[in-house]
A and B are shown apart, each in its own frame.
Chain A
Amino acid sequence: MSDSSLRLVWVYPDLLSTYGDQGNALVVERRARQRGLDVQRVDVRSDQPIPTSGDIYLIGGGEDRPQRLAAERLRRDGGLNRAAENGAIIFSVCAGYQILGHEFINDLGEREPGLGLLDVVSTRGEGARCVGDVLADIDPRLGLPQLTGFENHQGVTHLGPTARPFARTVFGNGNGTGDGTEGAFNETVFGTYMHGPVMARNPQIADLLLKLALDVNALPPTDDRWYEALRSERIAAASQPA
């Protein structure tokens, strides 16, 4: 951590906050405060420089044109790449996930360079949009319970050798590659297609980011009964699609 407070950076809400993903920032902030941490949340609009001294960076999903604009501005700004070099924890969703990779297909149907922070390449799927509840098993190395989320995308994301699948789907599409992978991660950078928002349904992901940022192995417990109730309901719902 840079000083006594945890700096949580919410990247480009003007472009990438269309699918409720700011809930991830709210959950991380809330769970940090419940542990008595002093949190400074910084919302960075796309005409402002990305601070390089943040501890956790969150990027959400957005529509196709804002996604291209965000990629252009993030590349020009360079701040997120510098933050990553500084060891910051970065968690991205959907359009934001694609931006962190090497490239994706933009709204003009062209290949748009990403930030290269995750070893993934995204294309656009030919079939129907992937919409619905997802259930997946998170990579056991991360020590997290099952992943529940809502997907709503047409992307197909292929993982390169230095990215690991974040999870293996039990129900739903995830990366859309047909190989059952969902999301990607390396030591400090995470990507997922899951909305919901994903932290509301999987608060332990928020805790994982806090532990990585604080470099601790455990956090004081919180009262998670509503999260747990929601998780049970959604996991059951994903297993029995309507």
Chain B
Amino acid sequence: MAGHPGNPEPLSPRAKLAVTAGKAAAAVSRAAGRGSGSVIGGRVALKLDPELLGRLAQHLDVVLVSATNGKTTTTRLIAEALRASGPVVSNALGANMPAGITSALAGGSDAKYGVIEVDEKYLAGVARDVAPKAIALLNLSRDQLDRAAETRMLAEKWREGLSGTKAVVIANADDPLVVWAASSSANVVWVAAGQEWKDDAWSCPACGGVMQRPGDDWFCGECGFRRPAPSWALSGDHVLDPHGSAWPIHLQLPGRANRANAATSAAVAAVFGVPPQVALERMYQVQAVAGRYDVVSFQGRDLRLLLAKNPAGWLETFSLIDPPPTPVILSVNARGADGTDTSWLWDVDYTRLAGHPIVVIGDRRLDLAVRLEVAGLDFRVCETVDEAVQLSPPGRIELIANYTAFQDVRRRVGN
């Protein structure tokens, strides 16, 4: 990269050197067959110039996207919407910590917008470094409890980190933890994006009181902390804008959670002057994100690949799969990137799969087997995805897997 032509403040020699060194490291990493190299490249660059991330971002209108679930997809939807108004740089492959973000921004010298997915734990720091114009907060729920911070503490960190931000915060009014985190910001656009999973917000993030949740509403019975009035809303397969107009959502991606992501993305696009109609039309372009939701042909069968990493994700996934007797294959691992504790399987209501023929695979198929046995479901246990597919009765197969199990399946089915 040779600086930012046309930008008022070109990168300093140090920043340029850092970007070049980072790209060299990435190229070496790629040549060694160790992934895209974006993370190692970013790491090298940040070491040479710790303020590089902020410097790279200062020429961009930046949107940050964070959440427990839906970050990658929403980042794609927003990027697609904003392309209506100018070139976009984005960490579309989900490298969402500072090094990966730095690397992604370094590759977008001509961009007008930066649409950046940020890991929940790094949001406050990245928001400080890149002075974003907008921050989208989708949801917070339990995830990898063996190593991640407590869920409510994450909300607290967001709240502290975002207080005083100049960004417009676009936040989910239906998630009490997100509302708590966002309400320290001066300028919040509330979106009624819904959230099926409720089990991380039964106690009030403000005072610890017991949350009351009649219908779609919620409030704390003790301190008065309550659901803010949303200006945007997801309503079935439409987005309601602040003027009350309903815009149809057309996505190639399935499920309520993705319609919620589209509603939030439309609200973000509006901050940048892209009208909801234009934004939503463009979102139709977004296909499978990093293999998620992809339908692949394998052994003469159609397999839909669904990623679900935590209880909230599994719940949303159950609501989008085809009804029985569609066969379902479940795969769970507990390697480093998954979290090494499988206890969370017991927070997932597997009785929702009643009526589906079920096959379980993955490193931790025996944990799943006991879980399903106790849920009173019929299931079979297989060693491999090949065997599981052969055992599944006819019809398209829904395959639901957690993080590394999903990567294993993708590798095997050639996706």
Q: Judge whether B340 and A20 touch: CB under 8 Å.
A: no
Instruction: Give the contacts of B199-231 with A (CB-CB under 8 A).
Output: 199-200, 202-203, 208, 210-211, 221
B396 within 8 A of A: no
Q: How far is the CB of B18 from chain A (nearest CB, A)?
A: 34
Question: Contact between A19 and B370 (Cβ–Cβ < 8 Å)?
Answer: no
Q: Assess whether B272 is interfacial by the CB under 8 Å rule.
A: no
Partner of B347, one of A22, A30, A65: A22
In the assembled complex, B142 has its CB within 8 A of some CB on chain A: yes
Contact A200 B367 (CB under 8 A): yes
Q: Nearest Cβ in chain B — how far from A221, in angstroms?
A: 15
B373 contacts across to A, CB distance below 8 A: 226-227
**Does A233 interact with chain B (Cβ within 8 Å)?**
yes
Residue of B nearest to A14 (CB): B202
- A interface footprint on B350-377 (CB within 8 Å = 1, 0 otherwise): 0000000000000000110111011110
Judged by a CB distance under 8 angstroms, whether A115 is at the interface is no
Bound-state Cα–Cα, A65 to B152, Å:
9
Given A19-B341, A152-B145, A64 and B150 touching (CB < 8 A)? yes
Contact (Cβ within 8 A) A19 B343: yes
0/1 string, A146-159, CB within 8 A of B gives 1: 00001010000000
| Cβ contact within 8 Å between B203 and A229 | no
Contact: A15 with B203, CB < 8 Å? yes
Within 8 A of A (CB), among B248-278: none
Binary contact track B299-342/A, C-beta < 8 Å → 1, others 0: 00000000000000000000000000000000000000000111
- Contact across chains for B203 and A20 when beta carbons are under 8 A apart: no
The number of residues on chain A lying at the interface, defined by a beta carbon within 8 Å of a beta carbon of chain B, is: 35
Scoring B343, B344, B373 by chain A CB atoms within 10 A of each residue's CB, the highest score goes to B343
- Size of the B side of the interface (Cβ < 8 Å), in residues, is 33
Contact, CB under 8 Å: B341 / A22: no
Interface string of B157-171 (1 = CB under 8 A from A): 000000000000000
Write the A58-78 contact mask toward B (1 if CB under 8 angstroms, else 0): 000001111001000000000
Given A63-B150, A131-B146: A196 touches B210 (CB 8 Å cut-off): no
In the complex, which residues of chain B have a beta carbon less than 8 angstroms from the beta carbon of A69?
203, 208
User: Quick one: which of B175-190 are within 8 Å of A by CB?
Assistant: none
Residue of A14, A23, A26 near B203 (CB, 8 A) is A14
- How far, in Å, is B120 (CB) from chain A's closest CB? 16
Q: Which residue of A lies closest to B372 (CB)?
A: A226
Q: Is A3 an interface residue (CB 8 A)?
A: no
**In the complex the two chains form, is A14's CB within 8 Å of B343's CB?**
no
Q: Check if A47 sits within 8 Å of B343, measured CB to CB.
A: no
B11 at the binding interface (Cβ < 8 Å)? no
| Interchain CB contact under 8 A, B147 and A30 | no
- Tell whether A22 pairs with B346 under 8 Å between CB atoms, given A27-B374, A226-B370: yes
Known: A69-B203, A226-B366, A233-B366. 13 other contacts (CB 8 A): A13-B202, A17-B199, A19-B344, A20-B343, A20-B346, A23-B343, A23-B374, A30-B374, A46-B210, A63-B152, A150-B340, A197-B346, A200-B346
13 contacts between A and B (CB under 8 A): A20-B341, A20-B347, A23-B346, A46-B203, A46-B210, A131-B146, A131-B341, A132-B340, A150-B342, A152-B341, A197-B346, A227-B373, A229-B366
The 5 lowest CB-CB distance pairs between A and B, nearest first, are A20-B343, A23-B346, A14-B202, A20-B346, A47-B210
